[in-house]
Structure 1
Amino acid sequence: MNTLIATIEKLQKEGFSVINSVYSEAEITEIIDCITKASADVRSDENAKHVFAIRQLMKKIPELKSLLFTEKFHELLKNVFEEDCFLTKAIYFDKPSESNWFVAYHQDLSISVDRKQDVSNYTNWTFKKGQYGVQPPLDILENIVTVRVHLDKTEKENGALKVIPKSHLKGIYRPETIDWTTETEHVCEVEKGGVMLMKPLTLHASNRTTNHKQRRVLHLEFSTKQLAKPLEWQEYCAL
């Protein structure tokens, strides 16, 4: 319990934290098998050789819910939030050894909603891959916690996230204004079956894979706040 409390305290203070051994080897194998079967169906539908991402993951693979939301995972969320939370977004990312990319420093400023509506303080609307995205008020972004479940051991050489500690405390922080004379960079290496917690306003990036090892991650976002009506979370899922 002391380790968990220290993990949550670091998340609040630094904007990120890592806790390993959240899932057993057997649990990770079940999750991977479930996604692998679904990925085969996606490849068939899209005529693709490889699936790099599956968005709206819980809607497309609902059987994942029982595999992911274990007793240990619920205990983690209970300590992260002071009240009942719910899932707002779920994405599966696969950065394979033979074909990969880098991601420049950024904050996650957009949420997925069920419609486009002119609502005060909801700005920068987008429509991508069949869903609406919008930048909500700061208090919504500050309430979200991202939980990244690592299905592979993730190191600096295969795309572990780089973060700028405490950048989540500075509101909207444009990457082009980063002052590297005062900021530091931290690489978040995570064991297979481990979890990385992150505030969406934490500046983060990742390099290309150089060690020819796969990096598969489940990107899950949770919140306790409802949106301004009539907007609803596109991927709302009660726990």
Structure 2
Amino acid sequence: MNYLKNKLELEENGFSILTDLYSDNEVSQILNCIENTEQDENSFMKSKDLFAIRQLIKSVPKISSLLFNEKLIELTSQLFKENYFLTKAIYFDKPSESNWFVPFHQDLSISVNKKVELENYSNWTFKKGFYGVQPPLKILQDTITVRIHLDKTDRYNGALKVIPKSHSNGIIRVESTDLNSENEFICNIDKGGAMLMKPLTLHSSNRTTNGKKRRVIHLEFNKHYLDKPLSWSEYYKIS
């Protein structure tokens, strides 16, 4: 497969959409792997509104060989000129009865191993046993997100809306920015497809109106090691 077009779209617009990254059978294997894993760790979060698994590959080790199929390995080899590695893997399941809205935002936090006061690392958080921090801008600019869709997703079940090219404006104070809804693009993605995104791309999702699920695996890749003594809380080398 040639993913040059997707790479160019990602750099220019801040996002790109892929189809057929996984077959129906591969999607079923991924879901079965998740469903057959014991859910007794802090990484598993379940409520009426959301089921999520943080540190997915650590929590469900068998899933790595299913995720990194031939197409994903080929995609990453074409996207990354240098030695990128996985820094975050989360599984999201938005149940059919869940109906929450996510306003426009940028993904400004990374997951790290500890809290250390360092220059250019700010806005620390600690949730469910995990530290998050806003890193230097260059790290965010060089992050690439791959969102793998395990269900067909459209405007009726919370597909992401993005503002094309917004990633080129650096960190944006969303509350003081006049967002032009005419520039919104709704990312309809088929089951087994994926969305590539820069974390500085403004994105949002509406409430679900058709009662259908939106199960997504969110992967983040980077090439930078953090300033010592900080390190990524997740690290998975791409084979």
Q: If the length of structure 2 is used for normalisation, what is the TM-score?
A: 0.93
Distance 2:4 2:18 in 1: 11
Structure 1 residues 94 and 34, CA, compared in 2 at 3 Å: closer, same or farther? Answer: same
Contact 1:78 1:84 in 2 (8 A): no
Can you give the 5+ residue segments of structure 1 that lack an aligned partner in the other structure? none
2:219 corresponding residue in structure 1: 220
1:145 corresponding residue in structure 2: 144
1:31-82, CA deviations, whole angstroms, 9 ceiling, x for partnerless residues? Answer: 0111112276679x98967862111111110111000001110110111111
**Is 2:85 the partner of 1:86?**
yes
Distance 1:153 1:201 in 2: 25
2:73 corresponding residue in structure 1: 74
Distance 1:226 1:40 in 2: 31
2:158 corresponding residue in structure 1: 159
1:57 corresponding residue in structure 2: 56
1:175-199, CA deviations, whole angstroms, 9 ceiling, x for partnerless residues? Answer: 1233235861110010100010000
Can you give the 5+ residue segments of structure 2 that lack an aligned partner in the other structure? none
Matched to 1:164, the amino acid is: I
Distance 1:36 1:106 in 2: 31
Contact 2:124 2:133 in 1 (8 A): yes
Contact 1:90 1:218 in 2 (8 A): yes
1:210 corresponding residue in structure 2: 209
1:131-188, CA deviations, whole angstroms, 9 ceiling, x for partnerless residues? Answer: 1111000000001011000000001100100001111000011212332358611100
Report how many aligned residue pairs link the two structures: 237
Q: Which segment drifts farther, 148-157 or 82-91?
A: 82-91
**Is 2:194 the partner of 1:232?**
no
Distance 1:72 1:63 in 2: 18
Contact 1:95 1:101 in 2 (8 A): no
Contact 2:48 2:97 in 1 (8 A): no
1:16 corresponding residue in structure 2: 15
SS in 1 for 2:34: helix
**Is 2:25 the partner of 1:26?**
yes
Structure 1 residues 107 and 74, CA, compared in 2 at 3 Å: closer, same or farther? Answer: same
Distance 2:142 2:47 in 1: 37
Identity %: 58
Distance 1:47 1:141 in 2: 29
Matched to 2:151, the amino acid is: D
1:177 corresponding residue in structure 2: 176
Residue 100 of structure 1 deviates from its aligned partner by 2.9
Distance 1:87 1:77 in 2: 10
Distance 2:180 2:223 in 1: 36
SS in 1 for 2:219: strand
Structure 1 residues 21 and 39, CA, compared in 2 at 3 Å: closer, same or farther? Answer: farther
CA RMSD after TM alignment: 2.1
Structure 1 residues 12 and 49, CA, compared in 2 at 3 Å: closer, same or farther? Answer: closer
